[in-house]
Protein backbone atom coordinates (compact mmCIF):
# COMPACT_ATOMS: atom_id res chain seq x y z
CA UNK A 1 0.00 0.00 0.00
CA UNK A 2 1.41 3.34 -1.04
CA UNK A 3 1.23 5.80 1.91
CA UNK A 4 -1.17 8.67 1.52
CA UNK A 5 1.65 11.20 1.90
CA UNK A 6 2.96 10.23 -1.54
CA UNK A 7 -0.35 11.10 -3.13
CA UNK A 8 -0.35 14.34 -1.23
CA UNK A 9 3.18 15.15 -2.35
CA UNK A 10 2.17 14.49 -5.96
CA UNK A 11 -0.93 16.60 -5.47
CA UNK A 12 1.13 19.48 -4.01
CA UNK A 13 3.61 19.12 -6.89
CA UNK A 14 0.82 19.29 -9.48
CA UNK A 15 -0.71 22.30 -7.72
CA UNK A 16 2.66 24.07 -7.52
CA UNK A 17 3.20 23.39 -11.22
CA UNK A 18 -0.18 24.92 -11.94
CA UNK A 19 0.57 28.01 -9.83
CA UNK A 20 3.98 28.48 -11.35
CA UNK A 21 2.64 28.06 -14.83
CA UNK A 22 -0.16 30.52 -14.12
CA UNK A 23 2.32 33.07 -12.82
CA UNK A 24 5.00 32.88 -15.45
CA UNK A 25 3.12 32.21 -18.65
CA UNK A 26 1.40 34.83 -20.78
CA UNK A 27 -0.61 32.83 -23.19
CA UNK A 28 -4.21 32.59 -22.08
CA UNK A 29 -4.57 28.98 -23.14
CA UNK A 30 -1.53 28.02 -21.12
CA UNK A 31 -3.01 29.82 -18.12
CA UNK A 32 -6.17 27.87 -18.66
CA UNK A 33 -4.32 24.64 -18.69
CA UNK A 34 -2.48 25.68 -15.49
CA UNK A 35 -5.81 26.23 -13.80
CA UNK A 36 -6.93 22.74 -14.83
CA UNK A 37 -3.69 21.40 -13.43
CA UNK A 38 -4.37 23.09 -10.07
CA UNK A 39 -7.90 21.75 -9.97
CA UNK A 40 -6.72 18.24 -10.66
CA UNK A 41 -4.00 18.54 -8.06
CA UNK A 42 -6.69 19.33 -5.54
CA UNK A 43 -8.86 16.50 -6.90
CA UNK A 44 -6.03 14.09 -6.32
CA UNK A 45 -5.76 14.98 -2.64
CA UNK A 46 -9.55 14.61 -2.30
CA UNK A 47 -9.39 11.10 -3.77
CA UNK A 48 -6.39 10.17 -1.65
CA UNK A 49 -8.09 11.15 1.57
CA UNK A 50 -11.39 9.56 0.54
CA UNK A 51 -9.72 6.27 -0.21
CA UNK A 52 -7.76 6.46 3.02
CA UNK A 53 -10.81 7.23 5.14
CA UNK A 54 -13.04 4.83 3.22
CA UNK A 55 -15.83 7.34 2.59
CA UNK A 56 -17.56 8.45 -0.59
CA UNK A 57 -17.60 12.21 0.19
CA UNK A 58 -14.32 12.95 -1.50
CA UNK A 59 -15.33 11.08 -4.67
CA UNK A 60 -18.55 13.01 -4.89
CA UNK A 61 -16.67 16.26 -4.41
CA UNK A 62 -14.32 15.37 -7.21
CA UNK A 63 -17.20 14.67 -9.55
CA UNK A 64 -18.65 18.05 -8.75
CA UNK A 65 -15.30 19.76 -9.32
CA UNK A 66 -14.98 17.98 -12.68
CA UNK A 67 -18.44 19.02 -13.75
CA UNK A 68 -17.80 22.60 -12.80
CA UNK A 69 -14.39 22.51 -14.45
CA UNK A 70 -15.93 21.19 -17.66
CA UNK A 71 -18.54 23.94 -17.65
CA UNK A 72 -15.87 26.49 -16.88
CA UNK A 73 -13.72 25.17 -19.72
CA UNK A 74 -16.57 25.58 -22.13
CA UNK A 75 -17.22 29.17 -21.04
CA UNK A 76 -13.53 29.99 -20.77
CA UNK A 77 -12.71 28.74 -24.24
CA UNK A 78 -15.60 30.71 -25.65
CA UNK A 79 -14.22 33.82 -23.96
CA UNK A 80 -10.76 33.11 -25.27
CA UNK A 81 -12.04 32.80 -28.83
CA UNK A 82 -13.98 36.01 -28.40
CA UNK A 83 -10.90 37.76 -27.03
CA UNK A 84 -8.77 36.51 -29.88
CA UNK A 85 -11.30 37.70 -32.42
CA UNK A 86 -11.38 41.22 -31.04
CA UNK A 87 -7.78 41.69 -29.90
CA UNK A 88 -5.96 39.31 -32.25
CA UNK A 89 -3.68 38.34 -29.39
CA UNK A 90 -3.61 35.79 -26.63
CA UNK A 91 -1.14 37.69 -24.47
CA UNK A 92 -2.88 38.41 -21.12
CA UNK A 93 -0.73 41.46 -20.47
CA UNK A 94 -2.34 43.13 -23.46
CA UNK A 95 -5.84 42.21 -22.44
CA UNK A 96 -6.08 44.49 -19.38
CA UNK A 97 -9.01 46.58 -20.46
CA UNK A 98 -12.59 45.38 -20.29
CA UNK A 99 -13.64 47.76 -22.96
CA UNK A 100 -11.81 48.84 -26.08
Interacting residues with other proteins (CB under 8 A): 19, 22-24, 26, 31, 92-93, 96-97
> Which residue number, 5 or 96, has a Cβ lying nearer to other proteins?
96
User: Rounded to the nearest whole angstrom, what is the least distance from the CB of residue 62 to other proteins in the complex?
Assistant: 20
CB-wise, 1 or 23, nearer to other proteins? 23
Compute the distance between CA of residue 48 and CA of residue 25 in angstroms, rounded to an integer.
Answer: 29
Cα separations in angstroms, 27 against 10, 32, 36, 94: 25, 9, 15, 10
Which of 9/60 has CB closer to other proteins? 9
Beta carbons of 91 and 26 less than 8 angstroms apart: yes
Q: Hey, which residues does 27 pair with through a beta bridge?
A: 91
Residue 56 CB, shortest distance to other proteins, in Å, is 26
Amino acid sequence: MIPVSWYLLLSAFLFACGVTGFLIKRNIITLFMSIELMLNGVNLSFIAFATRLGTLDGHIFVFFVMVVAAAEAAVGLAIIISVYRTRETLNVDRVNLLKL
